Amino acid sequence: MNATDLLLALALLLLAGSALLARSVQIASVLFIAFGLLLALVWVRLGAPDVALAEAAIGAGVAGALLMLAASEFESRRIGGSRAAGPRLPWPRPQGWRPRWALVLLALACAAVLLLAVLAIEPLAGAATEAVARNLPQSEIAHPVTAVLLSFRAYDTLLEIAVLLVAVVAVQAAPAPPQRALAHDPVLARVAAITVPLALLVALYLLWAGSSRSGGAFQAGAVLAGAVLLARFASLPLDPQSRLTRPPVLALGLALFILIGLVAGALAGAALGYPSGWVKPLVLAIEAALMVSIGATLVALFGGSKTA
Amino acid sequence: MSGVSIWLPTGSALVLFGLLGMLLASSILRKLLAFNVMGSGIFLLLLALRPPGPDGVADPVAQALIITGIVIAIAATALGVRLARRYFELSGHTELPEDRAATRDD
Amino acid sequence: MLEALTWLLLALAALFFSAGTLGLLRLPDTLSRIHALTKADNLGLGLAALALLLHAESWAAAAQIGLIWLLALAASATSGYLIARRCLLESHGTPASTLGAPPPGAPPT
């Protein structure tokens, strides 16, 4: 246990506590983004750069931005004066009571049990790492994490993409939230004109690097989503958002993954397997499709219906 | 106890904070925030139980699991935020009825 | 010698970051806070980047560090500007969203 880790751990807990106790949800969202970024540092400290990339992009960036967007919307409508103009919800107000002290004790008990349980586990250094390292040459993928995600446990990744698709279908089911017209800002437009292509380049690089280093479809998709959203906020003349959040683009990743999984799997003898020698291009194709779909999904999750 | 990673109690503490936040917070958005903090705590526990190998890189299976977990948590959070916004559009409230009643009785 | 220089630069960077945060916490209004934060943080980041440059393995890595610093500079300057503009508009009573028409050629949102 060294001083850096201790400081990081304390700072992490302090940020989490501040975020949860902040006086307004907007402040809480900002603190939460800071918490996510510090957590990304902790991941690096624990030797997990892939997770750090995903945490910074998705965990801190997207989650924080989503919460902040909703919080600002609630705040502005409340200040604006007019509250609900729509129909009240039909279910009756329940007459419940909840003593807070019982809940606090319950939470403390759960956390105590959890801590005792994890302390009792012997940290198994290296068992899975060795297994992965042994089978890595057979998978023909250079980077262990990518190999696990797209070869050894490709089924998990497949289902994960399906979950994302279900979430975006559910989000798009409701009518589009009322969108304020965004003012055109020349400074933002100029900066975005430089930054958006650069971000696209970074996304493509992360996609390419994923085959041999840290990176991959999820991180690339998150950067792609950021670029598209920035283009939208800057009111750049090209409006990719409406074309991007259409169902074909959203489903592209899952569809291609299943297609390649079945076809290549038939050739290789097992579903979601790859025939030898074809691994690199197939995995790259799957990851590219995933990147586009994940980017489109994250953009669509920011609110908007099928037509927005 | 000298070999115990500091991240085990840290992760547990984050789970505690998240749990308390979800149970006690009034606004839906705060609950979602607490849910994310709790998720991060669990991910931390996952990786804390797998110390980095000799070359300093952490267990790839744990890393893959956590990346998957982060993406799923985002999907759930996004759906939760959308539902919260829709609820706000329809009812004008940012809290569920039972939480509004609870804060009044406190 | 290199070690000492790196430590010095990092310590200075930490000092600037702390100064910026102090400004964030203690200054009265948003505009002065933005001023303190963007100036101090950018300089702090520059010093930290300089410290890392001394340890870069190659010219390419050094160029990447420099590029990161430039991008962070651009991002913080832009977001500082946007926040300040919003502040100014709200203090004059104009809701920021009604200012300016969408540029020609942009599809309606």
Q: What residue has token string 């493509």?
A: A204
Low-confidence winner among A86-90, A106-110, A286-290, C99-103 (lowest mean pLDDT):
A86-90
pLDDT at A247: 78
Q: Quick check: A8 pLDDT over 80?
A: yes
Chain A hits for C98, Cβ within 8 Å: 183
Handedness of CA B66, A241, A26, B86 (dihedral sign): negative
Q: What is the DSSP letter of B95?
A: B
pLDDT one-digit tens code per residue, A204-258: 999 998 888 888 889 999 999 988 888 887 876 655 566 666 778 788 888 888 8
Amino acid at A136: L
**Residue span of the structural domain in which B31 resides:** 7-105
Of A181, A195, A242, the CB nearest to C97: A181
Q: Quick check: C96 pLDDT over 90?
A: no
Amino acid at C65: I
Mean pLDDT, all residues of chain C = 83
For residue B74 the two structure tokens come to 């985002």
Helix or strand (DSSP H, E) at C38? helix C30-53
- Rounded CA-CA distance C9/A87 in Å is 61
- Rounded CA-CA distance A198/A191 in Å is 11
- Is residue A63 classed exposed, middle or buried when 0-12, 13-18 and 19+ CB atoms within 10 A define those classes? buried
- Rounded CA-CA distance A248/A288 in Å is 15
Kindly write down the DSSP assignment for every residue of B26-78, as one continuous string: -BHHHHHHHHHHHHHHHHHHHHHTS---TTSPPPHHHHHHHHHHHHHHHHHHH
B35 within 8 A of B77, measured Cβ to Cβ: yes
Is the minimum CB–CB distance between B96 and chain A shorter than 8 Å? no
Confidence of residue A18 (pLDDT cuts 50, 70, 90): very high
Q: Is residue B80 part of a domain?
A: yes
Q: Is residue B1 part of a domain?
A: no
Q: What residue has token string 């446990």?
A: A153
- Is residue C52 classed exposed, middle or buried when 0-12, 13-18 and 19+ CB atoms within 10 A define those classes? middle
**pTM exceeds 0.90 for this model:** no
Confidence of residue B40 (pLDDT cuts 50, 70, 90): very high
Q: Quick check: B100 pLDDT over 80?
A: no
Q: Quick check: B74 pLDDT over 90?
A: yes
Chain C hits for A189, Cβ within 8 Å: 103
A51 within 8 A of A217, measured Cβ to Cβ: no
Kindly write down the DSSP assignment for every residue of A174-185, as one continuous string: SPPPPPPPPPP-
Angle at alpha carbon of residue A261, lines to A258 and A263, rounded to 5°: 105
Q: Quick check: A11 pLDDT over 90?
A: yes
pLDDT one-digit tens code per residue, A39-70: 999 999 888 999 999 999 999 988 998 998 88
A42 within 8 A of A12, measured Cβ to Cβ: yes
Q: What residue has token string 């979601």?
A: A272
Q: Quick check: B56 pLDDT over 60?
A: yes
Q: Quick check: C105 pLDDT over 60?
A: no
pLDDT at A80: 46
For residue A59 the two structure tokens come to 């965990």
Q: Quick check: A307 pLDDT over 50?
A: no
Q: Is residue B2 part of a domain?
A: no
Q: How many residues does chain B have?
A: 106
B91 within 8 A of A88, measured Cβ to Cβ: yes
Distance from CA of A183 to the nearest CA of B (A): 23
- Rounded CA-CA distance B38/B18 in Å is 4
Amino acid at A238: L
Is the minimum CB–CB distance between C85 and chain A shorter than 8 Å? yes
A144 within 8 A of B55, measured Cβ to Cβ: no
Task: Give the HSE-up count for residue A48: Cα atoms under 13 Å, Cβ half-sphere.
Answer: 30
pLDDT one-digit tens code per residue, A263-277: 887 777 777 777 777
Taking CB atoms and an 8 Å limit, are A189 and C81 in contact across chains?
A: no
Is the minimum CB–CB distance between A81 and chain C shorter than 8 Å? no
- Rounded CA-CA distance A249/A243 in Å is 8
Q: Is residue B91 part of a domain?
A: yes
Confidence of residue A95 (pLDDT cuts 50, 70, 90): very low
Is the minimum CB–CB distance between C95 and chain A shorter than 8 Å? no
- Considering only residues A40 and A136, tell me which one the structure prediction assigns the higher pLDDT: A40
- Rounded CA-CA distance A89/A214 in Å is 48
Low-confidence winner among A29-33, A131-135, A234-238, B22-26 (lowest mean pLDDT):
A234-238
Amino acid at C101: A
For residue B15 the two structure tokens come to 């789970």
A268 within 8 A of A274, measured Cβ to Cβ: yes
pLDDT one-digit tens code per residue, C28-75: 888 888 888 888 889 999 999 999 988 888 888 899 899 999 999 998
pLDDT at A90: 40
Name A258's Cβ contacts closer than 8 Å, sequence gap at least 6: A158
Chain B hits for A35, Cβ within 8 Å: 37, 40
> What ipTM does this complex have?
0.90
Q: Is residue B40 part of a domain?
A: yes
- CATH number where B76 lies: 1.10.287.3510
pLDDT at A38: 95
Q: Is residue B44 part of a domain?
A: yes
Amino acid at C38: T
pLDDT one-digit tens code per residue, A65-89: 899 888 888 877 665 443 433 333 3
Q: What residue has token string 């020698």?
A: A277
Distance from CA of A181 to the nearest CA of C (A): 6
pLDDT at A43: 93
Q: Quick check: A1 pLDDT over 80?
A: no
- Total tally of structural domains belonging to chain B: 1
Q: What is the largest CA-CA distance in chain B?
A: 56
- Rounded CA-CA distance A89/A105 in Å is 33
Segment C83-101 shows an average pLDDT of 68
